[in-house]
Amino acid sequence: MKKKNNKEQKLEAIGKLLDVIDTLREQCPWDSVQTNESLRPNTIEETMELAEALIDDDKNAIKKELGDVLLHVLLYARIGEETGDYDIAEVCDALRHKLIYRHPHIYGDEKVNSAKEVLENWEIIKMKEKDGNKTILSGVPSTLPALIKAERVQEKAANVGFDWEKKEDVWAKVKEEFHEVEAEIQAGNEENIEKEFGDLFFSLVNAARLYNVRPDNALEKTNLKFIARFNYIESQAKAQGKRLNEMTLEQMDELWNEAKHLKLGE
């Protein structure tokens, strides 16, 4: 018997999964009543769980969460099929056509020399698709978390040439924004303090982008590191029969340094 190739195995697996989705929509009391609106909150949750698994680089969790996200994609496609609006084949075909059209350096005669040029071409092609009816930044979802939104709007602006000539130049802007925060704090102007902190954060996101650092990933890793080390302080305090608010800052600092030495959260 001829051994199946990898592509045949993938197609067979997807086909079997589609059969299960069909059965659940037809027979399961919960799955059969789901709508785009009812699934949306769960989809957001599943996407966040995938993002967490990616940050943790937990391969088993990534595989599981990819499956959960895929389940939602297939459910939405099945709902579209039931309403006669689209099905999974149309979804796949639309995506395939878009990818081919937006990669003329692969499927056409366009020449590129870097990933940056690919992104620049991508934005130009997207604008042609929209026939000029939308702006460059209108493609950034308004519901994105502020940190990710800042990165995306900066990327899109940079893709059409609105960027620093040299990445090192960004540090002058960061320092400028930092000093403006200091000035407003000294002046005691609370409204301007918030505004200048926003400008400072935005400039730091810009710097991270220029140095190929994903600011959301970087901040989340620091969040997790802080949580691990703070949990160590709390657990050690309990072991000593103390509550954190009964400890001095010096005592907590000592435990914090122990956690750092143990490289907790790293």
Q: Show the tokens assigned to 56.
A: 């943790």
Distance in Å from the first CA to the final CA of the chain:
50
Which one of 87, 114, 141 terminates a domain?
87
* Whole-number Å distance between alpha carbons of 131 and 139: 14
Predicted local confidence at residue 134, as pLDDT:
74
Whether residue 140 lies inside any domain: the answer is: no
φ, ψ for residue 192, nearest 5 deg: -75, -30
How far is residue 230's CA from residue 3's CA, in Å, rounded to a whole number? 54
Examine residue 242 and state whether it is found in any structural domain, yes or no: yes
Cα-Cα-Cα-Cα dihedral of 29, 32, 35, 38, to 10°? 20
Euclidean distance between CA atoms 63 and 65, whole angstroms: 6
Is residue 138 situated within a structural domain? no
Contact call for residues 157 and 163 (beta carbons, < 8 A): yes
Tell me how far apart the alpha carbons of residues 227 and 233 are, in angstroms, rounded to a whole number. Answer: 10
Could you give the CA distance from residue 202 to residue 180 in angstroms, rounded to a whole number?
Answer: 13
Taking alpha carbons only, the member of 161, 167, 159, 148 closest to residue 205 is 148
Helix axes 146-159, 190-210, angle to 10 degrees: 60
Residue linked to tokens 């000592």: 254
CATH of the domain at 47: 1.10.287.1080
| Maximum C-alpha span of the chain | 81
- Tell which residue, 72, 75, 64, has the closest CA to residue 44: 72
What does the pLDDT profile of the chain (266 residues) look like in tens digits?
Answer: 455 679 999 999 999 999 999 999 999 999 999 999 999 999 999 999 999 999 999 999 999 999 999 999 999 999 999 999 999 999 999 999 999 999 999 999 889 889 888 888 887 887 777 655 478 888 888 888 999 999 999 998 998 889 999 999 999 999 999 999 999 999 999 889 999 999 999 999 999 999 999 999 999 999 999 999 999 999 999 999 999 999 999 999 999 999 999 999 88
Any domain includes 231: yes
Q: What is the pLDDT of residue 2?
A: 55
Helix (H, G, I), strand (E, B) or coil at 248: coil
Residue that is last in its domain, among 57, 87, 117: 87
State which residues form the domain around 44.
8-87
252: CB partners within 8 A, 6+ apart: 233, 237, 244
pTM strictly above 0.85: no
| Contact call for residues 31 and 20 (beta carbons, < 8 A) | no
> Which tokens sit at 49?
């769980």
Boundary of a domain, candidates 87, 110, 144: 87
**Is residue 56 situated within a structural domain?**
yes
Q: Considering only CA atoms, which of 258, 146, 122, 119 is closest in space to residue 201?
A: 146
Number of domains in the chain: 2
Does any domain span residue 173? no
Q: What pLDDT is recorded for position 127?
A: 75
Given this model, what pLDDT does residue 138 score?
Answer: 84
Q: 122 lies in a domain?
A: no
Q: Within a domain: residue 168?
A: no
- Are 122 and 106 in contact, with CB atoms under 8 Å apart? no
